[in-house]
Structure 1
Amino acid sequence: MSRLPHISSAERGPASVIAGPWPTYSQFKSLPERDRWVLYGSAKAYRVALENQGLVMAEGYEAFIRRVCAELEI
């Protein structure tokens, strides 16, 4: 799994911390497996997009991956 290099919040400017977990994906667990994998990829991309905007998730990346996988049952 590839990750972007860590950039400190000082390099990006002030960081906003998003408490969570947010968003949740459990409502999608009844979808076909292929669709759940697509959502998994989208969830990771969305998190990266938020982080690239300077937002910091209170939930660590590994915990986020474990949670999304459990919620999507993949």
Structure 2
Amino acid sequence: MTTYDIASGNLPQAPTTAEVVAGPWPCYSNCRHLPERERWEIYGLAKAGRGALEDRGVAMTETYDAFIARITREMGL
């Protein structure tokens, strides 16, 4: 290990076996002013983004149904 490794944060780490948990997601209420079509596009992107994280093994603290209910409520859909 060099001084550069220490300074840059590139330290060796033991593999983790703990579940990765992410949440909560950003608030989508700032999208309310957008036209409905654009809000539906953002809704689709939010779902796809969450799905991509879950596919990589990220466990979310918010259930999928709660996530959908929240983003539709926040965006006024």
TM norm structure 2: 0.74
Aligned residues: 61
2:33 is paired with a residue whose SS is coil
Equivalent of residue 43 in structure 2, options 34, 40, 43: 40
Cα distance between partner residues in 2 of 1:34 and 1:68:
15
> Which residue does 2:20 correspond to in 1?
16
Contact residue 14 and residue 54 of structure 1 kept, 8 A: no
Listed as ranges, the gaps of 5+ residues in structure 1 are 1-12
TM norm structure 1: 0.76
Ranges of 4+ aligned residues in structure 1 off by more than 3 Å: none
Partner amino acid for 2:38? D
Listed as ranges, the gaps of 5+ residues in structure 2 are 1-16
CA RMSD of aligned residues (A): 1.3
